[in-house]
Amino acid sequence: MSGPFRTPSGGRIDRAAPLSFTFDGARYVGVAGDTLASALLANGVHLVGRSIKYHRPRGILSAGAEEPNALVTVIRDGGRVTPNLRATQIELYDGLVTVSQNRWPSLHHDVGAIAGCFSPLFPAGFYYKTFMGPRWLGSNWAWTRVYEPLIRRAAGLGRAPTSPDPDHYASRYAHCDVLVVGSGPAGLCAALAAAQAGGRVILCDEQSEMGGSLLSETTAIVDGKSALDWIADKIDLLSSQDRVTLLPRTQAFGYFHDNFIALAERVTDHLANPDPASPRERLWQVFAKQVVLATGAIERPLMFPDNDRPGIMLAGAAHTYLERYGAKPGHRAALVGSHDTIYRAALALARQDVVIAGIFDNRSHPDSDLIPLAREAGITVTTGATIIGTSGRLRLSKVRLGVLSDDGSARDAGDLACDHLLMSGGWTPSVHLFSQSRGKLAWHPDKQAFLPARSHARVWSAGTCAGDNELSEVIENGFAAGENAARAAGLMARPRVAVAVENAQTLNGGSLGELPHPNRHSRKMAFVDFQNDVTSEDLKLAVREGFQSIEHVKRYTTTGMATDQGKTSNMNALGIMSSQLNIPLPDVGLTTFRAPYTPVTFGTLAAHSRGDLFDPIRRTPIDSWAQDNGAVFEDAGPWKRARYFPKAGEDMHAAVRRECRIVRSAVGVLDASTFGKIEVVGPDASEFLKRLYVNDFRNLEIGQCRYGVLLNEAGFVIDDGVIGRLAESTFHVTTTTGGAARVLHLMEDYLQTEFPDLACWLTSTTEHWAVIAVQGPKSRDALAPLVEGIDLGKASFPHMSLAEGKVAGVPARVFRVSFTGELGFEVNVPADYGRSVWELIWQEVCLYDGCAYGTEAMHVLRAEKGFVIVGQETDGTVTVGDLGFGWAVGKQKQDFVGKRSLSRSDMIKADRHQLVGLQTVDPKIVLEEGAQITIESSSTAGAAALGHVTSSYWSDALGRSIALALVSGGRKRRGERLHVPMPGGAIEVVVTAPVFYDPKGERLGG
Amino acid sequence: MLLIRCPHCEMERPEIEFRYAGEAHIVRPPDPAAVSDEAWADYLYMRANPKGLHAERWRHIHGCGRFFNAVRHTVTDKILKTYKAGEPKPDLGAFATSADR
Ligand SMILES: [Zn+2]
């Protein structure tokens, strides 16, 4: 038997398929079709959790996604631990292991519940007020000594898992004519109408089974059939159509611009033994021409003192548990409310032999066909009645009744024993997704509800989410929405066959806000927001303290800010605000509905973008050699670059010193393949480059190259590189490693939109070429034996030459360039030959006791020569003049990108930050890059810095530290002593020229 | 994610294939040297930034690579028209009714 509270028959469960599960270590048996919540109820378990602030015992409030209390952790195995799942949505499987949360040592004996005794410590605005302890104790005293320990003890939902998630998650895009969200009667009919019109339709529903509210409908006859048979027919009809996709267990959680909707599909969570090849969840990103929202409505709790004990449940939820899951909420029921749902629930419970202790209708003159039926069934119905308190430590044992007077007060009318209390304050249309679509909501006083009005999105709402009430109306409007959506998507709607609905119960009523009770200012708590433990008193206090906007009250009291986003509480909070401020409810305003509708796992959002697939890595053709030879790598954008090649026992500094020394004395090779490369081709190629770069390229001879600087239109340096002319109309342009894509984008922009008259084409060749820099006095000797067709001689191939030939038998472009200040070459070979040519060059280099060097040595060598790195010496506010590169600017050029800006007044100020060298007075001190520079050794606070250190290294060649810096009016300060203030005291430095090594450039000429 | 119609590919493609490139129809002065500092600063920095219809540049960077222009409503994010760079700026007033409907 699957629990003492199971009904003998009926519902959507299979009593012949028992499933064993545990909750907090206790073993129970449920059946196929159960949720964890229904299975627990069938076993008589109501106590499922503790509340977040006061650790109050809590039970199952609802039967759906709106559940604020029954949050549990599901443990599948080591890495598969999922906290904070709603028991109302967890499908039972054999062997399911679940534990409660937020309690210690156990759910029944929870030490944290003592927090409830200190409830005056947790008033509205608690989080703000705690920062203001008594001043004489110091600003942080109250926080660190009292409040933080209390919060840490009390706070938190479930624990995050500690090991990586072993599951994988899928993601896909989908396009459709009509997406229907919600498969209750309105959604089913909308999907049918759209499918009949021939549309591509996606119908999704968060539940395991399609049908929505009809799954617990037992009285209505639809088209001459029971509701369940009618659903089965319609689902069959839909699933037989290729153009219809049915997605159960799929929550539409976000509605984004242009009808782009995100769905989260739970693929394996309901299975005892999931296929390891299957993803756990799947993210659907749907482009929908039209959307029909049929998202239903959520029942509201009532606010009376101690309205949160286990055993107190929404009346509609109890009806669902009974009719859909065959689970009775107890033996003896009391019902209270302002909506006819309480009568429907009572009648259904009575049919299953649950004793109805009484129905207490808040309304003085309720008018429902169900009332005479209830009375006929022997149920006592009291109108103008309420509940003013409840008792029972871990489970409701009795309620205290109240009689409502015309003046709005309540009079004590004694106790009534019961083991559960079902309440209904009416139903709130679920307009979350509509609101996310940036649709406007309109207040409908007759329905006491906010309903969808105008939207920019192509969206239709139908059913109870749109304020429909009677089943026939819901079905009619569902069809209409589906037809409208299909027509708007450009399809032809077919004529509809009318659907006859008989014997449907019509339920009316509802209220917003707190119920009257005599002990108004007692410490009894009437909860508005169950998940965040916000009471009606908290809201009233906030209003008394002067808060008027619901957005402020929400943040001040945290109402509606829990993971359930106030699904059951927001309207009641507005009701309290409205009566406290004495203004109409719609004037209080409405907080914004935000995605996700229910919490979504990070796994689903990340999908395949994790581990190696999270962020792509770029590796050069020579990368594998560097790995084989012990390189230590660093990131350069998406690239991995060899930083240095340590020999046994070397740290980075020792390795870099050795690499620098060998490049300066013999020869070194560097993998420079990451440099951006753009081939610029066409009759106007030279004119194009002239217009883009500060330099003049028209007089660049074939076989020559030139250092080029690129500005943005505002006049600031954004990239640099060497540009070589291979032929009259062919240029080989190099860019910085990080700037390659940006420069190509900028070039394309100018070529396509500003200079479309130029006949010129741009091709990224970064990945086409492997680049091997061979640098050092022995570089020519090492390289020459491998080179065919190019005479590397001093006169025939001078500095800044370029030629095509063969290197190691492979077609190559050889540049004579130097980023070290030494004689040097850069060999470009097609990427596929990169490693083999590198290895052959390496053999030659080894003959001269050369080395491979990495980016760190490259930086030191270039800094010794004062060569800048764009992005290190520059930050987007630095001009060619600031860098001292005025020589590079083509003097005859009328115009180039950024030229006009160079004459703006700010760009020619004498106090601009200019590139200088810095030498520390103590040569052993290496400055920190980024450190500020001041005149005084101890500047007054608030005084502006003169500039900052951009590069700083130990220079082995000079036997001292060197640094480059940007300093205000720096070029005029040569010889001045400045200071670099650091935590250990200011470091004295001398301003120098930004070239430290071989200032005359004699080493290049060799 | 938006679906954007590339006027060169003549196809609707997902937004991730495109890159935004700022306000459209801001022409680089043909002779910058002849422009005053104020006019040059306007060209560099001053943008309309409207709440409503906006003619703006996009590039189909992960597709055909071409730049084009679009009329987008900055409140609804709806793109009401795309057209090739170089074509005249459409009359934004003609879109106002459809965007505000
Ligand atoms: Zn395109």
Three-class secondary structure assignment of A792-850: CCCCCCCCCEEEEEEECCEEEEEEECCCCCCCEEEEEEEHHHHHHHHHHHHHHHHHCCC
Whole-prediction pTM: 0.90
Residues found in chain A: 1006
Contact across the interface for A753 and B57, Cβ inside 8 Å:
yes
Residue in A752, A894, A905 nearest the CB of B67:
A752
Q: Is the dihedral of CA B27, B33, B39, B43 positive or negative?
A: positive
Residue B66 with chain A: CB contacts under 8 Å: 752
As residues whose CB is below 5 A from the ion ligand 1, the structure lists: B 6, 8-9, 60, 63-64
**CA of residue A490 relative to chain centroid, distance:** 35
State how far the Cα of B40 lies from the Cα of A381, in Å rounded to an integer.
81
Name all contacts of A902-905 with Cβ < 8 Å and 24+ positions apart. Answer: A902/A715, A904/A715, A904/B37, A904/B40, A904/B41, A905/B37
Q: Which residue of A has its CA nearest to B72?
A: A258
SS3 content of chain A, % helix, strand, coil (to 5): 25, 30, 45
Q: Please give the distance, rounded to the nearest whole angstrom, from the Cα atom of residue B76 to the centre of ligand 1.
A: 23
3-state secondary structure of A423: strand
Q: Please give the distance, rounded to the nearest whole angstrom, from the Cα atom of residue B11 to the centre of ligand 1.
A: 7
As to burial, measured by CB atoms within 10 angstroms (0-12 exposed, 13-18 middle, 19+ buried), residue A406 is: exposed
Cis before residue A301, ω within 30 degrees of 0?
no
Q: Which residue of A has its CA nearest to B1?
A: A260
Residue type, A439: G
Residue type, B42: D
Q: What is the bridge-based pairing of β-strands A96-99 and A14-23?
A: parallel
Q: What is the bridge-based pairing of β-strands B19-23 and B53-59?
A: antiparallel
Contact across the interface for B76 and A257, Cβ inside 8 Å:
yes
3-state secondary structure of A335: strand
Q: Please give the distance, rounded to the nearest whole angstrom, from the Cα atom of residue B7 to the centre of ligand 1.
A: 7
Q: Please give the distance, rounded to the nearest whole angstrom, from the Cα atom of residue A177 to the centre of ligand 1.
A: 24
| Closest to B4 in 3D by CA, of B60, B53, B62 | B60
Residue A754 with chain B: CB contacts under 8 Å: 28
Residues of chain A predicted below pLDDT 70: 1, 114-123, 125-143, 146-156, 519-523, 1006
State how far the Cα of A662 lies from the Cα of A653, in Å rounded to an integer.
14
Instruction: Tell me the CATH architecture of domain A1-164.
Output: Roll (3.10)
Would you state the structure tokens that stand for residue A549, as one six-digit string? 């906007």
Name all contacts of A763-767 with Cβ < 8 Å and 24+ positions apart. Answer: A763/A678, A763/A679, A763/A681, A764/A676, A764/A677, A764/A678, A764/A740, A765/A677, A765/A678, A765/A679, A765/A732, A766/A674, A766/A675, A766/A676, A766/A677, A766/A678, A766/A740, A767/A831
Fold of A170-297+429-502: FAD/NAD(P)-binding domain (3.50.50)
Instruction: Give the pLDDT of residue A941.
Output: 80
Q: What is the rounded radius of gyration, in angstroms, for the C-alpha atoms of chain A?
A: 38
* Å between A562 CA and nearest CA of chain B: 27
**CATH number of this structure's domain A618-673+769-792+817-876:** 3.30.1360.120
Q: What is the rounded radius of gyration, in angstroms, for the C-alpha atoms of chain B?
A: 15
Give A125-178 as a DSSP string. THHHHTT---GGG-TTHHIIIIIHHHHHHH--SSPPPSS------EEEEEEEEE
Residue A756 with chain B: CB contacts under 8 Å: 86
Contact across the interface for A895 and B31, Cβ inside 8 Å:
yes
Interface of A with B (CB under 8 A): 173, 256-258, 260, 285, 287, 438, 456, 713-714, 745, 748-749, 752-754, 756, 894-895, 899-901, 904-905
Domain boundaries of chain A, sorted by first residue: 1-164, 170-297+429-502, 308-425, 618-673+769-792+817-876, 675-765, 907-1006
Residue in A285, A438, A894 nearest the CB of B33:
A894
Q: Could you identify the residue written with the tokens 């519940």? A: A113
Q: Which residue of B has its CA nearest to A256?
A: B1
Contact across the interface for B85 and A256, Cβ inside 8 Å:
no
Residue A745 with chain B: CB contacts under 8 Å: 19, 59, 61
| Closest to A226 in 3D by CA, of A211, A247, A248, A206 | A211
Do A530 and A559 meet the contact criterion of CB atoms below 8 Å apart? no
Instruction: Give the pLDDT of residue A589.
Output: 87
Residue B60 with chain A: CB contacts under 8 Å: none
* Å between A876 CA and nearest CA of chain B: 15
Q: Please give the distance, rounded to the nearest whole angstrom, from the Cα atom of residue B99 to the centre of ligand 1.
A: 25
* Å between B48 CA and nearest CA of chain A: 19
Give A710-730 as a DSSP string. EE-TTS-EEEEEEEEEEETTE
- Of the residues A256, A900, A903, the best mutation for testing chain B's interface (the one with the most B CB atoms within 10 Å of its CB) is A900
Q: Please give the distance, rounded to the nearest whole angstrom, from the Cα atom of residue B60 to the centre of ligand 1.
A: 5
User: What is the CB neighbour count within 10 angstroms for residue A935?
Assistant: 14
Q: Please give the distance, rounded to the nearest whole angstrom, from the Cα atom of residue A478 to the centre of ligand 1.
A: 39
Would you state the structure tokens that stand for residue A947, as one six-digit string? 């500039």
- Of the residues A456, A746, A909, the best mutation for testing chain B's interface (the one with the most B CB atoms within 10 Å of its CB) is A456
Would you state the structure tokens that stand for residue A871, as one six-digit string? 């992005």
Instruction: Give the pLDDT of residue A868.
Output: 96
Residue A284 with chain B: CB contacts under 8 Å: none
Domain boundaries of chain B, sorted by first residue: 3-99
Residue B85 with chain A: CB contacts under 8 Å: 752-753
Instruction: Give the pLDDT of residue A519.
Output: 66
User: Which is the CATH superfamily of the domain at A308-425?
Assistant: FAD/NAD(P)-binding domain (3.50.50.60)
Residue A901 with chain B: CB contacts under 8 Å: 40, 44
Residue type, A166: P
Residue A438 with chain B: CB contacts under 8 Å: 76
Are both A308-425 and A618-673+769-792+817-876 of the same fold?
Answer: no
Would you state the structure tokens that stand for residue A820, as one six-digit string? 């070290």
* CATH class (in words) of the domain with range A907-1006: mainly beta
Q: What is the bridge-based pairing of β-strands A947-955 and A960-968?
A: antiparallel
CA atoms within 13 A on the CB side of A913: 21
* Å between B1 CA and nearest CA of chain A: 6
Would you state the structure tokens that stand for residue A856, as one six-digit string? 């760190």
User: What is the CB neighbour count within 10 angstroms for residue A369?
Assistant: 11
Contact across the interface for B44 and A438, Cβ inside 8 Å:
no
Q: Which residue of A has its CA nearest to B24?
A: A753
Query: Does CATH place domain B3-99 in 3.30.2270.10?
Result: yes
Q: What is the bridge-based pairing of β-strands A225-226 and A221-222?
A: antiparallel
State how far the Cα of A741 lies from the Cα of A736, in Å rounded to an integer.
10
Instruction: Print pLDDT tens along chain B (101 aa).
Output: 899 999 999 999 999 999 999 999 999 999 999 999 999 999 999 999 999 999 999 999 999 999 999 999 998 899 999 999 989 999 988 886 554 54
Contact across the interface for B40 and A904, Cβ inside 8 Å:
yes
* Å between B37 CA and nearest CA of chain A: 6
Chain B stretch 76-95, residues whose beta carbon is closer than 8 A to a beta carbon of chain A: 76-78, 85-86
Chain B stretch 17-46, residues whose beta carbon is closer than 8 A to a beta carbon of chain A: 19, 21, 28-29, 31-33, 35, 37, 40-41, 44
Residue B77 with chain A: CB contacts under 8 Å: 257-258
Residue type, A304: F
Q: Is the dihedral of CA A100, A106, A112, A117 positive or negative?
A: positive
Instruction: Give the pLDDT of residue A148.
Output: 65
In this structure, what are the phi and psi dihedrals at residue A34, rounded to the nearest 5 degrees? -75, 150
CA dihedral A624, A630, A632, A635 (to 10 degrees): 0
Residue A260 with chain B: CB contacts under 8 Å: 1-2
Q: Please give the distance, rounded to the nearest whole angstrom, from the Cα atom of residue A685 to the centre of ligand 1.
A: 24
Q: Which residue of A has its CA nearest to B61?
A: A745
Fold of A675-765: Alpha-Beta Plaits (3.30.70)
